[in-house]
Structure 1
Amino acid sequence: MTQMSTDWAAEWAAGDGEPLRFLGPDGGLVRPDLPRPPDDLLGEALRLMLLSRALDQKCTSLHRQGRLGLYAPVLGQEAAVVGSHLAIDPATDWLVPASREQPAMLRHGWPLDRLLASLLGRIDAARIPDHVRMLPRQQSIASQLPHAAGIAWATAIRGLDGVTLAYCGDGATSEGDFHEACNLAGVMGVPLVLVVINNQYAISTPVSRQTRAIRLAHRARGYGFPGVAVDGDDLFAVHEVTRQAVERARAGGGPTMIEAVTYRMSFHNTSDNPSLYRDPSEEAEAGLRDPVARLVAYATGAGLMTPDAIDVVEAEVRAEVAAALDLALSYPAPGPEEIFRHVFSD
């Protein structure tokens, strides 16, 4: 098995239980000696995170206008999603999303207009292209995880080089499908990287009402593979720990669980009203750890990008979303036959 320069799971397990952090909320490096993504990758990361925010804004607005159905924003969780997905290769690896990993789905190859078509109910146009190694988003909590373990197992049986990256939320760790998938993955030693995005709430239920465990990542030990908790608002920590987990899986080392500790800065979805169950001061405090602001502060402080250059990127991604929306709206509405198309072969 390939030797790693640093075993982050072991370092975390031997520490005080606090999530690993490389980049502070002010954009400064907590430990300058730690690895960080190359500059070109940071540019891609920031663009994806800004695109995600533009998409959130547009889709929320469309929902309020009655033009789009249910939507789950990524607001506040961008570093957890983007940082982890940047560690895999869409050409060889599989993506198994939950329900709010839009920037990962886009980077993996699902065109933006097709993603928007799915939200607009244009089912036929929303079909994932054959060459894209990705399962559809999943609204049924944790039910995608046994499939993720199965894909990873099949990859290993066939002797392929691929790794499966799967996402779930903290609420999914309370479901039987989660435990069954983890047990199979551990027993068979499959090349699976499971990212648990702990955004503190399973809709309205806080983590403290879901488990007495100090950290969700500790659950990996019971299944015989490493678990590690990272600051999910820190793109650097998420990317480096996922990169090592992917390298380990690709080398035959088996699965890894990564708990990205973050915060859902918006509603669970457009049918939710978080003011009924969250203290506004809690949301304000989480805003101080904003993952996008953190990366912008680092990029500008390090001289990698200027504020004007970031303004240009923001304008570009807004235009990209608008153009994709126009294209998605041009696709025909589904007919009755769409109930069966893309589900049954005959």
Structure 2
Amino acid sequence: MTVQELPGAGASYRPTPPPSWRPRTEAAPLLPDAEPYRVLGTPAADKLDPELMRRCYAELVRGRRYNAQATALTRQGRLAVYPSTVGQEACEIAAALVLAEQDWLFPSYRDTLAAVARGLDPVQALTLLRGDWHTGYDPREHRIAPLSTPLATQLPHAVGLAHAARLRGDDVVALAMVGDGGTSEGDFHEALNFAAVWQAPVVFLVQNNGFAISVPLAKQTAAPTLAHKGVGYGMPGRLVDGNDVAAVHEVLAEAVHRARTGGGPTLVEAITYRMDAHTNADDATRYRDDDEVAAWKEHDPVELLERELTARGILDEAGIEAAKDAAETMAAALRERMNADPVLDPMDLFAHVYAEQTGRLREQAAMLRAELDAEAQG
């Protein structure tokens, strides 16, 4: 802004108008819908892909059984902790199925089911939660980043990978998953800001399950929705019913396509609910009542899809029983393998910490090796 001297005594000053200001991005197209997008139970369900929906159903049933089995393993002392996704299976399955083989999934600690649905061995997915290994699997094999226990730290990593892929000319999209609690972290802000500025091919999926452990969403943010936060960074925000697997898959598919074709990032908020406690170490009755949980059980993602598909003749009793049988087979194998005591090598503590071991790590490894050798000799 400049000032201009006016003629006359006293030499008065007045500001001149600054150059006209224009926003870099028009806000209106970025705003989410007023209500979560739905497919099941609406006219949009007429366009369901029967093959895709049958696969989604089988994965939902398997996912529900996987959650039950993993929770049981914590009670048996075979897992140190397990963050269940009962009630959130639609988000997990849609996120896994929407990606192409060359794409990358960046899960949070709660997203073991998404990793399994993408092809990861269920035992490997639980190895970190068992306390046996740093990650438990090779991230490059299925293009699944390590499960992220710190909140939202995987989001900047997803942006970095997606940006690097674009610079290299690789056809890669990153899909990063985070809970509503993670949106209160600085990493969330940094990731969305960089993604939008760089127009990185990345999709952010926020599973809004109502609570950051015991803290309800209303005590975390005053935003109209979490999807609205995308506007502040210059990316579209989408709001979707997170228990409607068809809707989540459609919204994520559009976001992945947009990212892949140069349209930049998208922030998707899926409204869902975790039926179980935060983890097996949490007492959810201290901060929510049974009536609230019961109301959400009426919107169970497995039952929603089953009712829709059977009503449309896409799924029959044989298909339902086949899905249940496959889930039981998976659970039995998982139970058997997890009940076997793992053979652990203490020297593995130093493996995969750095691409090349530092001098300090080599010193520590040598000290441990000497102690182990001395113990073995008597």
Q: TM-score, with normalisation over the residues of structure 2?
A: 0.82
Larger radius of gyration: 2
The corresponding residue for 2:180 is 170
SS in 2 for 1:230: strand
Equivalent-residue separation in structure 2 for 1:315 and 1:281 (angstroms): 32
Residue 114 of structure 1 is aligned with which of 119, 124, 131? 124
Moved more, 113-122 or 262-271: 113-122
Q: 1:207 Cα shift?
A: 0.4
SS in structure 2 at match of 1:166: strand
The answer to whether structure 1 residue 275 and structure 2 residue 285 are counterparts is yes
Sort the Cα spacing of 1:341 and 1:120 in 2 relative to 1 into closer, same or farther, 3 A.
same
Q: 2:204 aligns with which of 189, 194, 199?
A: 194
Q: Which moved more, 1:128-137 or 1:50-59?
A: 128-137
Classify the secondary structure of the residue corresponding to 1:321.
helix
1:100 aligns with 2:110: yes
* Distance verdict in 2 for CA 1:333–1:266, change over 3 Å: same
Give the equivalent residue in structure 2 for 1:3.
Answer: none
2:25 is the counterpart of 1:13: no
Q: Given the superposition, is the C-alpha separation of residues 340 and 273 from structure 1 closer, same or farther in structure 2, using an over 3 Å criterion?
A: same
Query: Once the 2 structures are TM-superposed, how far is the Cα of residue 34 of structure 1 from its aligned partner?
Result: 6.9
**What displacement does 1:141 show?**
0.5
Q: Is structure 2 residue 80 aligned with structure 1 residue 63?
A: no
Equivalent residue runs for 1:331-346 within 5 Å: 332-345=342-355, 346=357
* Mapped contact 1:56–1:73 kept (Cα < 8 A): yes
Q: 1:14 to 1:188 in 2, by over 3 A?
A: closer
1:170 Cα offset (Å): 0.4
Q: Does the 8 Å contact 2:79/2:129 carry over to 1?
A: yes
* 1:204 counterpart (214, 232, 248): 214
Q: Distance in 2 between matches of 1:264 and 1:308?
A: 29
More off after superposition, 277-286 vs 308-317: 308-317
Mapping for residues 99-248 of structure 1, pairs under 5 Å:
99-123=109-133, 126-128=136-138, 130-248=140-258
2:11 alignment partner in structure 1: none
Aligned pair partner of 2:96 in 73, 85, 98: 85
Seen in structure 2, the aligned counterparts of structure 1 residues 125 and 146 have a Cα distance that, compared at 3 Å, is closer
Deviations 1:23-81, CA, capped at 9 Å, x for gaps: 1xxxx3x1237743x21111221111111111111111121122221001110001112
| Distance verdict in 2 for CA 1:33–1:300, change over 3 Å | closer
CA contact (8 A) 1:117 1:331 kept: no
Amino acid at match of 2:31: A
The alpha-carbon distance between structure 1 residues 130 and 228, as it changes in their structure 2 partners (threshold 3 A), is closer
Q: Distance in 2 between matches of 1:178 and 1:241?
A: 21
Question: Following TM superposition, by how much is the alpha carbon of 1:329 offset from its aligned partner in structure 2, in angstroms?
Answer: 4.4
Deviations 1:69-105 (A, max 9, x none): 100111000111212332211x210000012222320
Which has the larger displacement, 294-303 or 331-340? Answer: 331-340
Cα 1:192–1:178 change in 2 (3 A) is same
Shift of 1:240: 0.8
Q: Hey, what does 1:74 align to over in structure 2?
A: 85
2:269 pairs with 230, 234, 259, which one?
259
Task: Kindly tell me the number of residue pairs found equivalent between the two proteins.
Answer: 330
Q: Kindly report structure 1 stretches of 4+ aligned residues shifted beyond 4 Å.
A: 9-12, 328-331
Q: For residues 44 and 335 of structure 1, what CA distance do their matches in structure 2 show?
A: 39
TM-score by length of 1: 0.90
Point out which structure has higher relative CO (alpha carbons under 8 A, 6+ apart). Answer: 1
Q: Is the 8 A contact 1:194 1:255 kept in 2?
A: yes
Structure 2: gaps spanning 5 or more residues: 1-26, 358-378
Pick closer, same or farther for the CA change 1:287–1:118 going to 2, 3 Å. same
Distance change (3 Å), C-alpha of 1:95 and 1:129 = closer
Q: What is the alpha-carbon distance in structure 2 between the residues aligned to residue 78 and residue 209 of structure 1?
A: 25
Residue in 2 that maps onto 1:4 = none
Deviates more, 1:304-313 or 1:243-252: 304-313
Superposed CA deviations along residues 99-140 of structure 1, whole A, max 9, x for unmatched, are 222232023232123224443333289222642211111110
Q: CA RMSD in A?
A: 2.1
Residues in 2 aligned to 1:11 and 1:315: alpha-carbon distance in whole angstroms: 46
Indicate the SS of the match to 1:95: strand
> Is the aligned partner of 1:31 residue 2:35?
no
State the match for 1:6 in structure 2.
Answer: none
Deviation for aligned residue 1:257 = 0.5
